Copies of this chain bind each other. A is one copy, B any other.
Amino acid sequence: MTTESRPGLRERKKQRTRDAISDAAITLFVERGFNEVSVAQIAEAAEVSKRTLFAYFPTKEDLVVHRMADHETESARVVRARPAHTAPLDALRDHFLDGLRRRDPITGLNDMPQIRELTQLIFRTPALIDRMQRFRAGGERALTEALCDTTDAPELVARMASVQIIAVQWALSMENFERLISGETADARYPDAARSAERAFALLANGLATVG
């Protein structure tokens, strides 16, 4: 009756429940603000018990930020998957620029209403910003390892390079977020965003001494 590749009913139900909870949460948060909605209200809206909600998401913050979890190790993956004879930094720059072109939400350059609302929610809520920073730390660790494994740079250099790169990517994304929040469209912002990214990566490559 069920094909061999399809997960069982149990797994499908779990996924549906998980989505129901997350959707209810984000809808309510966007509507009324993170602190103005209680987890009890979310559980009620998703038609599950509070206890079940916490079985799927360990904290209230995770109801929102779990959607970003995939991106945690993105930079590390890009470095590992880069073509031979390509410098890590070049691969990362190209990937970021491609993200801008594709309007990847992670670059801050996506102005679709749902994504914009989610972004604003996060940036208006200190507790959520804090939580995002934890992903950043994880991303730094993963990138450091990727650099160590795929280049012959000493560990200190890998660590420093990695924190610099993540910091710059983060700052570029933040800048784009802010512009979009203040009303600019993604298409209008794109040319400057791309130029900024190119300059920022050039700065990473060539060093701060070049600007006095």
A residues touching B (Cβ–Cβ < 8 Å)? Answer: 87, 89, 126, 129-131, 133-134, 137, 151-153, 156-157, 159-161, 163-168, 170-171, 175, 196, 199-200, 203-212
Contact = CB atoms under 8 A, between A and B. Distances in A.
A159 B206 CA distance: 16
A199 B166 contact: no
Contact of A157 (B161, B165, B203): B203
B175 A168 contact: no
Contacts of A165: 208
Given A129-B134, A129-B137, 5 more contacts: A163-B168, A163-B171, A205-B208, A206-B207, A207-B207
Contacts of A157: 199, 203, 211
A34 to B, nearest CB: 16
Interface SS of chain A: helix, strand, loop or mixed?
helix
Copies of this protein, total: 2
A129 B134 CA distance: 9
- Residue of A166, A200, A203, A207 contacting most chain B CB atoms (<10 Å): A207
A128 to B, nearest CB: 11
A200 B133 contact: no
A92 to B, nearest CB: 10
B200 A160 contact: yes
A173 to B, nearest CB: 11
Contacts of A207: 203-208, 210
A129 B153 CA distance: 28
Contacts of A210: 207
A175 to B, nearest CB: 7
22 contacts: A89-B208, A126-B134, A129-B137, A133-B133, A156-B199, A157-B203, A159-B171, A160-B199, A160-B200, A160-B203, A161-B203, A163-B171, A164-B167, A164-B208, A167-B167, A204-B208, A205-B207, A205-B208, A206-B207, A207-B207, A207-B208, A207-B210
